[in-house]
Amino acid sequence: MAGDGSAGPGPGPGPGLVRLDLGSLRGASRAPVHLLPCVVEHDGSAAVDRYFTPAIRPQGGRSEKAVSFRGRSLQGQEVPVPQGYVGLVLKEDAQPCLEEEEERTVRVKSVFTELTAWNLEQAPSGDDGILMAMSWPKISEGLHAPVPEEEP
């Protein structure tokens, strides 16, 4: 596995192994990411820059936004990726495997340093899963930091 431009655990393939093509990171573009509170029954590219992005309006604070999607009011907030991290949009070129034993490879389609999280009717809050997830690296760092010994 070493030197083949992929990342994956262990010396050989295991059940459900997914490899990341690290070579695809070099050519990855930066793209805006929107986390919508719905399921869109489409798996492919969409004209987001043409129809969705121009309709976004600033709302309240600097990082708050509003838009209407299929007639529903969405409130959004820009959420930065934690310092020292980068977000990856991954794509699997081949059709997903149906057999658990088959190895899969994904490549990096784009990278991002912030995303816009959207909720129906109200702005995302500290109770939203994505905001809690983005605070986890800082919490983890504190949990795993060395504890100084107390002096007698």
What 3 state SS string does 18-78 have?
A: EEEEHHHHCCCEECCCEECCCCCCCCCCCCHHHHCHHHCEECCCCCEEEEEECCEEEEEEE
Percentage of the chain exceeding pLDDT 70 = 86
Q: For residue 46, what pLDDT band results from cuts at 50, 70 and 90?
A: confident
50 falls within a domain: yes
CB of 56 within 8 A of CB of 67?
yes
pLDDT value at position 7? 55
User: What is the distance between the alpha carbons of residues 129 and 138, in angstroms, rounded to a whole number?
Assistant: 15
150 falls within a domain: no
Q: Which domain holds residue 95?
A: 16-142
- pLDDT of residue 21 exceeding 50: yes
129 falls within a domain: yes
7 falls within a domain: no
Q: How large is the average pLDDT for residues 13-25?
A: 80
Please state the domain count of the chain.
1
Q: How large is the average pLDDT for residues 59-64?
A: 79
60: buried, middle or exposed (CB in 10 Å: 19+, 13-18, 0-12)?
Answer: exposed
Q: For residue 93, what pLDDT band results from cuts at 50, 70 and 90?
A: confident
108: buried, middle or exposed (CB in 10 Å: 19+, 13-18, 0-12)?
Answer: buried
- pLDDT of residue 116 exceeding 50: yes
79 falls within a domain: yes
Q: How large is the average pLDDT for residues 55-67?
A: 86
Which one-letter amino acid corresponds to residue 36? Answer: L
Which residues are CB-contacts of 79 (< 8 A; sequence separation ≥ 6)? 114, 115, 116, 117, 124, 130, 131, 134
Listing DSSP states for 102-124 in one string gives S-EEEEEEEEESEEEEEEESS--
Single pTM value for the model:
0.74
65 falls within a domain: yes
Q: Which tokens belong to 132? A: 């809690």
CATH of the domain at 104: 2.40.128.680
61 falls within a domain: yes
CA 72 to chain centre: 24
- Round the CA-based radius of gyration of the chain to a whole number and report it: 20
Q: For residue 49, what pLDDT band results from cuts at 50, 70 and 90?
A: confident
30 falls within a domain: yes
pLDDT value at position 128? 92
pLDDT value at position 148? 86
